[in-house]
A and B are shown apart, each in its own frame.
Chain A
Amino acid sequence: DTAVSQTPKYLVTQMGNDKSIKCEQNLGHDTMYWYKQDSKKFLKIMFSYNNKELIINETVPNRFSPKSPDKAHLNLHINSLELGDSAVYFCASMGAGRGEQYFGPGTRLTVT
């Protein structure tokens, strides 16, 4: 069973479109994250949710809106996509009282 899963794995879309990426974890973790990996492979946190509540928002444009319907799911919706949004987006989760995070396989977003 996949611990942290993301869909879709690849997403190709045009500028101006709106798209969503879904993430699910079956680890029973309380905290979930979205990270962005740019073309130079640099990883930067975007958001964090703990038990469906937003706890970290790293000055991400408000075109990005995370949504957590329950603590096992954290989705990322992106409005009005721009070329600069092209990247790999990783979902991760962490258990309460722990420090290590478990990452999903990533979603490669390409905006043309």
Chain B
Amino acid sequence: AQSVTQPDIHITVSEGASLELRCNYSYGATPYLFWYVQSPGQGLQLLLKYFSGDTLVQGIKGFEAEFKRSQSSFNLRKPSVHWSDAAEYFCAVGKGNQGGKLIFGQGTELSVKP
């Protein structure tokens, strides 16, 4: 069955510290991979995506993610967190040939300490 796991429900980091949010997936083939961010009361904003090619992808707001096929992972990283990064982060997988259906992880809530 297709699934996405984000092992960390809640993470707290200090402002200026580095961040890594974990994402593991189960899928029949290499899917398209996405990270979205949801600020309180807001919709989802696409941070970055992986379709193919270079396994290290850069996104908006200084985020990057690395696809590791052998580990079925797509972890999100940021070298220095800003207070405005506090939000809910969702990893998602999908494939264009299934009508673009996205399967989401449970989300990781990021808190940033001053």
Point out the residues of chain A lying under 8 angstroms from B34, CB to CB.
99-100
- Nearest Cβ in chain B — how far from A3, in angstroms? 10
- Which of A93-111 touch B at CB < 8 Å? 94, 97-106
Q: A41-B88, A56-B99, A97-B96 are in contact. Are A102 and B104 (CB under 8 A)?
A: no
Interface size on A, residues (CB 8 A): 27
Q: Is the interface of A mostly helix, strand, loop or mixed?
A: strand
Asked if B42 is at the interface of the complex by the 8 Å CB criterion, the answer is yes
Asked if B100 is at the interface of the complex by the 8 Å CB criterion, the answer is yes
- Nearest Cβ in chain B — how far from A29, in angstroms? 10
Q: A41-B88, A42-B106, A42-B107 are in contact. Are A101 and B100 (CB under 8 A)?
A: yes
Point out the residues of chain A lying under 8 angstroms from B96, CB to CB.
97-99
Asked if B63 is at the interface of the complex by the 8 Å CB criterion, the answer is no
Q: Of A12-20, A43-51, A62-70, A72-80, which stretch is located at the interface?
A: A43-51
- Which of B38-61 touch A at CB < 8 Å? 38, 42-46, 49, 51
**Cβ B88 vs Cβ A50 within 8 A:** no
Point out the residues of chain A lying under 8 angstroms from B94, CB to CB.
99
CA distance A92 to B102 in the complex (A): 11
- Nearest Cβ in chain A — how far from B29, in angstroms? 13
- Which of A30-48 touch B at CB < 8 Å? 31, 33, 35, 40-45, 48
What 1/0 flags go to B67-98 for Cβ under 8 Å of A?
00000000000000000000010100011101
CA distance A102 to B47 in the complex (A): 11
Q: A99-B95, A100-B49 are in contact. Are A42 and B43 (CB under 8 A)?
A: no
CA distance A40 to B107 in the complex (A): 9
**Cβ B99 vs Cβ A31 within 8 A:** yes
Give 9 closest A-B pairs by Cβ, nearest first.
Answer: A99-B32, A103-B44, A43-B104, A105-B43, A55-B99, A103-B43, A94-B100, A48-B99, A56-B99
